[in-house]
Structure 1
Amino acid sequence: MSDSVQIRLDLTQPASQTVWVHMEWTPQWNRQILQLPVWTPGSYTVRDHAQHLHSLRLSNGSTVQKVRRLSPSRWLCELTTLEPVTLSYAIESRDLTVRTGLLDPDFASLSLASVAMEIEGFRWMPHHLEVSAPSHWQVHLPLESSVKGWLAPDFDALIDTPLHAGSFAVEPFTVHGHRHELLLIGAPPFGWPESIISDIERVCQATCDLMGTPPPAGDRYQLVLQLLEKGYGGLEHDHSAVLQFNWSALASKKGYRQLLQLVGHEYLHQWNVRRLRPVELRPYNYSQPVICEGLWFAEGITSYYDLFLPLWAGCTDQTMLLEDFGEELSSVLMSPGRSIQSLSMSAEEAWVKLYKATPASRDTQISYYRLGAAVAFCLDVRLRSFGSSLPVLLRHLWSFFGEQRRGFCRDDLHLWLSSVDSGLPAELDHWLDDTNAIPLEHSAGLIGLRLESVQQQTPHHGLSLKLSAGDLVVQRVMKNSPGMRANLVVGDEILAINGFRVRCIEAVADLMRNCSEVQVSFVRRGLMKETLLQPETAIESWRLDFDPQASSNQLALREQWFKTF
């Protein structure tokens, strides 16, 4: 077809860990520009997928054409005729993450954003996909089937599609009358929880109840769960989500709860961010970073509700919710970065900070996932005090923007908030743009909850340490801590405390116990040095709990908060 692109992926040599890509199309003009996306939607940092590409070859009819590189991920070819074009190249696939790709003799897991080229002028044209795989493998894609493979209505739909191939279990489940698939890759040594399918169904059903609609993906939704020795994360798609979870965590009740929260998080993204999208991301620009303050809403609101979904599904209780949400709020309260970086700035700097964080980053930045969830909490409580709620706002935005495939911005939030109370837009701006702005303790108090500090049991020195080749090395020095006042810096090797050799992290705190001042012997750039450090007491964390003195009005508002409306 002259108005479509044909793509074939060759996975038949999995031991090579190389995917061969063959693309064919009929050009409409002589100048052809090809581009591999530099980032994967849902993961807001430049991935430079082109680093894994080699053996690029383009032929026009029977003639091999010269291809000139315009940038690391962009190529130009000046054709001599408008005969059909064949493009081939190889992608090294050795990275098992939800945003890149892996091919090995066990299975394939590919984010097609790291594999498929965009042909200029063909972005909104159909893309036909064929996959050649080992004969004993099954190939799974959440695309519509076609005669020889699968059909994506356009390039966006193609690269939004995760590809999985291999021999693994496929379990059907139903949400709101719509049939979904659960792909289980790997297995825990102690077996899967007996109720996992029904629990996932109920969490997904609770998500639909929150949004007040059936799943936007309809019958074509694929949930992929990769169970690994180590790993945690997920990536959302229009018709799918790919999750990674470690089997050791699955063995505990809390770990299983975290898995259900992860399922709910990615399932909710069907609405929030995939279809209800900040205006800066409509449409996606695959060639460069896209500055988008709306990421706080996309991830913060979703992170807030992923804690509630297992409760609404009947898989947890209110006490467990407070425990989990308390840990989220504690992370915010214990982060020095919240006094440096505002929530809107955290979202705008995602490309250069969140995904490139170092141990020292906590002192100057804060995650828009966690701070966004904290702002969602304050906004939800504030709205409920006026007789509305955050779910009502979400459903409004879905109706006016998500279903219409229109991008939204802060002004659209202002417009709706001002219909509830004229002062709410200014409050939201304060929480988004100013540091240390969110009234967490006040918001908790409004619904009969209290935030309580937990004192650290060991002496506080403010040093994060790691063992590196047998050496005890400073990895982070907390801002305004005893370690900083003692002039210790990242990279210093700690040798002794008060003359006693230390070879493990625990020994440092043990030797500081009951001491008002200690002598620290350390090495910096090969030179022996000493300093005096004065340990102190400090808050270790915060916890969220019921307030036994809550009034009847606070109790009533709290019961509303535990529910959707």
Structure 2
Amino acid sequence: MNGDVDVHLDLVRPEEQRIRVTMRWTPSTSRQILQFPLWTPGSYTIRDPVQHLHSLELTAATGPVSLRRLAPNQWLADHVDSIPHRLTYVVEARDLTVRTAFVDPEFASFSLAAVVMELDGCRWSPHRLGVSCADTWQVHCPLSWEGDGWRANDFDELLDSPVQAGPFHGQPFHVLDHQHTLLLMGDPPGGWPTTLKADVERICEATCQLMGTPPPAGDRYQLVIQMLDSGYGGLEHDHCAVLQFNWAALSKPDGYRQLLQLVGHEYLHQWNVRRLRPQEFRPYDYGHPVVSEGLWFAEGITSYFDLVLPLLAGTSDRSTLLQDLGDELSRVLMAPGRRVQSLAASAEEAWVKLYKSTVVSIDSQISYYRLGAASAFCLDVRLRQRGSSLAEQLRALWKTHGQVGRGFVRGDLTLLLKAIDPELAEDLDRWLDRPDSLPLQDIAGLIGARFDPVPLKRPDLGLTLADMNGRVVVKRAAVDGPGRAAALVPGDELIAVDGRRVGAAAEVSSLLRVDDPALITYARRSCLGTTKLRPVAGVERWCLSWEPAASSEQLFLRDRWFRFL
């Protein structure tokens, strides 16, 4: 059909780890800009996948068409005719993440945002997708099948549809009255959990219960779980989620629950962030970073509820939830960056900070996932005091914005809160805009919970040390820590403690005592120096526990909070 774009992906020689792309269309204008996406929705940083593209050629029936590069990811074809054109190029596919492209002889997994070009004037045109691969492989894609390929209504839907290919089959699972597809990739040493499909169904149904609606994706939903030797994460799509988990984590006591929490997190994203989307992401701009403070809501709210979903699904209990919540809140309390970066700033600076953090970033930044989850907990408890809940407000925002494709801003949420508690709406503004403004201890106290410090078993040096080829190197000196007070900085090599040579980071701690100054010999840019280091007693983490003397009012609110819906 005229105006459509045909996309064909060649995976026939997977050992080359390349995707050969062919795109065919008829230009509607004489000036065509071809743009390769700079980022993938759901992963908010510029990753420049164009670095993996080469062998770009544009031809028409009349012959080759010259391309002029406008930017690293943009090309201009000038004075083109309205006749069929053919664009070909190759994408190197060796990066196995949920947001990039990977092909090898075992399987292929890729986000189309790392593979397919955006053609001028075709953003809202239908795109047809075809994939060639070995006869023993099957191709899985959440797009609608039409004829001999898949059909996307527009470029956005195409990019939102990851492709998995290999010698494996999908298996159906059911959520309420809807049939989804579960695709398991990999082979855990101990095998896949025998109750996985049943537990996934329970988690997904609990998510629908939380949101008060059937799954927005209906019957066209694929859940992909890749079990690898390393890695953790997921990426959400309108009709799909691709998850990566690792064998070592699965074998830990809490590993299976963490996998189910990840499933719940990505499944909830069907509502929150995919369809209930911050205004700045309607529509997406694939050529530039899109700054939005709404990421705290998209990821923080979702991260809070993914802790809750196993309880709602009946695969966990209250004491386990308290442990999981305590671990999450402890990470916030232990992060010095919360005193520097606000929650709104954390979301807005995701493009240059969160995804590019280093070992020293903890001193100046805080994850909007974790601080957002902590803020969600505070909001939920305060709303419970007023007979409402965070889930109720999320459902309300879904009805007014998500269901109708309307982007939301902060004011839409505060307007809902004002109708319940004007003071809470003001508090949210403060929590978003001011660093270290979240009253976690006070909010926990409302439900009769408290944070108890768990002391470090070793002296706190205020230093992060690394072993590097028999050398002990400072990687971080904590703000206001003993190492900073001793004027040690990242890059320094620790040579000796009180005249005793050290060759491993563990040896440093073994030679030090709390409040006992020690003479540190170090090397900085090959020059030796000495300094006095006085270790202190430190806190390893904070443990959230119930207050034995909780009042009846606290117990009543605690029970109300545990209902979550």
Letter in structure 2 aligned against 1:436: D
Task: Please list, as runs of the form range in 1=range in 2, the aligned pairs for 1:42-61 lying within 5 A after superposition.
Answer: 42-61=42-61
1:384 is matched with: 384
What secondary structure sits across from 2:213 in the alignment? Answer: coil
Match of 1:231 in 2: 231
Aligned to 1:6: 6
The 5-angstrom pairing of residues 166-245 of structure 1 reads 166-245=166-245
SS at match of 1:359: coil
Q: Do the aligned residues in 2 keep the contact of 1:264 with 1:306 (CA within 8 Å)?
A: yes
Taking the aligned partners of 1:501 and 1:227, their CA distance within structure 2 comes to 43
Residue 564 of structure 1: CA displacement? 2.5
Say if 2:89 is the partner of 1:89: yes
Q: Tell me what 2:407 maps to.
A: 407
CA distance, structure 2, for counterparts of residue 352 and residue 432 of structure 1: 19
For 2:89 and 2:514, how far apart are their aligned partners in 1? Answer: 65
Aligned residue pairs total 565
Displacement after TM superposition at 1:125 (Å): 0.8
Name the counterpart of 1:136: 136
State the match for 1:108 in structure 2.
108
Structure 2 residue 279 is matched with structure 1 residue 290: no
Specify the alignment match of 2:440 in structure 1: 440
How far apart in 2 are the matches of 1:141 and 1:438? Answer: 42
Distance 2:148 2:135 in 1: 16
For 1:526 and 1:272, the matched residues in 2 are separated by 53
CA contact (8 A) 2:138 2:169 kept: no
For residues 339-369 of structure 1, the C-alpha deviation after alignment (integer angstroms, 9 at most, x for no partner) is: 1000000000000000000000000000000
| C-alpha distance after superposition, 1:496-526 (max 9, x if no partner) | 2112222222211111035611111111111
Give 1:414 deviation, angstroms. 1.5
> 2:177 and 2:482 mapped to 1: Cα distance?
59
Report SS of the residue matched to 2:553: helix
Q: CA RMSD in A?
A: 1.0
Counterparts of 1:315 and 1:496, CA distance in 2: 51
Q: Cα distance 1:133–1:323, how it changes in 2: closer, same or farther (>3 A)?
A: same
Contact 1:168/1:186, CA 8 A, preserved across alignment: no
Q: Which residue identity lines up with residue 68 of structure 2 in the other structure?
A: R
Q: Secondary structure at the match of 1:164?
A: strand
Matches within 5 A, 1:314-393: 314-393=314-393
Which residue in the other structure is 2:455 paired with?
455
Q: Which residue of 1 aligns with 2:483?
A: 483
Q: Deviations over 1:23-74 (max 9, x none)?
A: 0001111111111110000000001011000000001223101001111111
Counterpart-to-counterpart distance in 1, 2:186 and 2:501: 44
Q: Secondary structure at the match of 1:488?
A: coil
User: What is the distance in 2 between the residues matched to 1:460 and 1:351?
Assistant: 33
Q: For 1:145-156, what aligned pairs fall within 5 Å after superposition?
A: 145-156=145-156
Q: Is the 8 A contact 1:65 1:79 kept in 2?
A: no
Could you say what secondary structure the match of 1:512 adopts?
coil
Using the alignment, how far apart are the partners of 1:61 and 1:78 within structure 2? 16
Q: Distance in 2 between matches of 1:16 and 1:536?
A: 55
Deviations 1:123-153 (A, max 9, x none): 1110000000111100000010011110011
**Shift of the alpha carbon at 1:469?**
2.5
Q: Distance in 2 between matches of 1:80 and 1:200?
A: 51
Helix, strand or coil at the partner of 2:170:
strand
Alignment TM-score, normalising by the size of structure 1: 0.99
Measured in 2, the distance between the counterparts of 1:290 and 1:515 equals: 49
Q: Distance in 2 between matches of 1:461 and 1:169?
A: 52
- Which one-letter code corresponds to 1:51 in the other structure? Q
Q: 1:220 Cα deviation (Å)?
A: 0.7
Mapping 1:536-547, distance limit 5 Å:
536-547=536-547
Q: What do residues 250-280 of structure 1 show as CA deviations (whole Å, max 9, x unaligned)?
A: 1123011111111110000000000000001
The alpha carbon displacement at 1:323 in A equals 0.9
Paired residues of 1:169 and 1:185 also in contact (CA < 8 A): no
Identify the residue that residue 72 of structure 1 maps to in structure 2. 72
Unaligned runs of 5+ in 1: none
SS in 1 for 2:436: coil
Q: What is the alpha-carbon distance in structure 1 between the residues aligned to residue 312 and residue 105 of structure 2? A: 41
Distance in 1, matches of 2:326 and 2:424, equals 25
Name the stretch that deviates more: 269-278 or 518-527. 518-527
Aligned to 1:419: 419
**Whole-Å separation in 2 of the counterparts to 1:313 and 1:81:** 58
* Whole-angstrom distance in 1 between the partners of 2:202 and 2:56: 47
Specify the SS of the correspondent of 2:360. Answer: helix
Contact 2:514 2:534 in 1 (8 A): no
The equivalent of 2:120 in structure 1 is: 120
| Shift, 1:248, TM fit | 1.2
1:437 partner SS = coil
Quote how far apart the aligned CAs of 1:285 are: 0.5
2: distance between equivalents of 1:540 and 1:94? 38
Residue identity in the other structure for 1:525: R
Shift of 1:169: 4.3
Any conservation in 2 of the 1:176–1:214 contact (CA below 8 Å)? yes
Worse-matched range after superposition: 544-553 or 199-208: 544-553
Q: Distance in 1 between matches of 2:102 and 2:524?
A: 40
Structure-2 separation of matches of 1:496 and 1:25: 68
In structure 2, what is the Cα distance between the partners aligned to 1:470 and 1:62? 65
Give the residue type in structure 1 aligned to 2:53.
L
For residues 169 and 525 of structure 1, the distance between their equivalents in structure 2, rounded to whole angstroms, comes to 56
Deviation at 1:168, TM superposition (A): 2.3
Give the whole-Å Cα distance in 1 for the aligned partners of 2:516 and 2:16. Answer: 60
After alignment, is 110-119 or 163-172 more displaced?
163-172
For residues 23 and 469 of structure 1, the distance between their equivalents in structure 2, rounded to whole angstroms, comes to 50
Match of 1:253 in 2: 253
Q: Which amino acid aligns with 2:157?
A: A
* CA distance in 1: counterparts of 2:326 and 2:214, whole angstroms: 31
Return closer, same or farther for 1:258/1:75 CA change in 2, 3 Å cut-off. same
How far the C-alpha of 1:562 sits from its partner, in A, is 1.3
> Distance in 2 between the 1:190 and 1:445 partners?
42
Cα distance, 1:202 vs structure 2: 0.5
Rounded Cα–Cα distance in structure 1 between residues aligned with 2:339 and 2:169:
47
2: CA distance, partners of 1:301 / 1:262: 14
Alignment match, 1:37: 37
TM-score scaled by length of structure 2: 0.99
1:496 match: secondary structure: strand
| Aligned counterparts of 2:98 and 2:469: Cα–Cα separation in 1 | 31
Q: Distance in 1 between matches of 2:13 and 2:142?
A: 23
**After the TM superposition, which of the residue ranges 184-193 and 399-408 deviates more from structure 2?**
184-193
> Mind listing any 5+ residue stretches in structure 2 that lack a counterpart?
none
**1:420 aligned counterpart, secondary structure:** coil
Give 4+ residue runs of structure 1 displaced > 6 Å after superposition: none
Matched, 1:465 2:465: yes
Please tell me whether the aligned partners of residues 59 and 86 of structure 2 are also in contact (alpha carbons under 8 angstroms): yes
Q: Is the 8 A contact 1:360 1:475 kept in 2?
A: yes
Post-superposition Cα deviations, 1:299-334, rounded to whole Å, max 9, x if no partner, equal 000000000001111111111111111111111001
Give the distance between the partners of 1:218 and 1:80, measured in 2 at CA.
Answer: 42
The whole-number CA distance in structure 1 between the counterparts of 2:168 and 2:232 is: 20
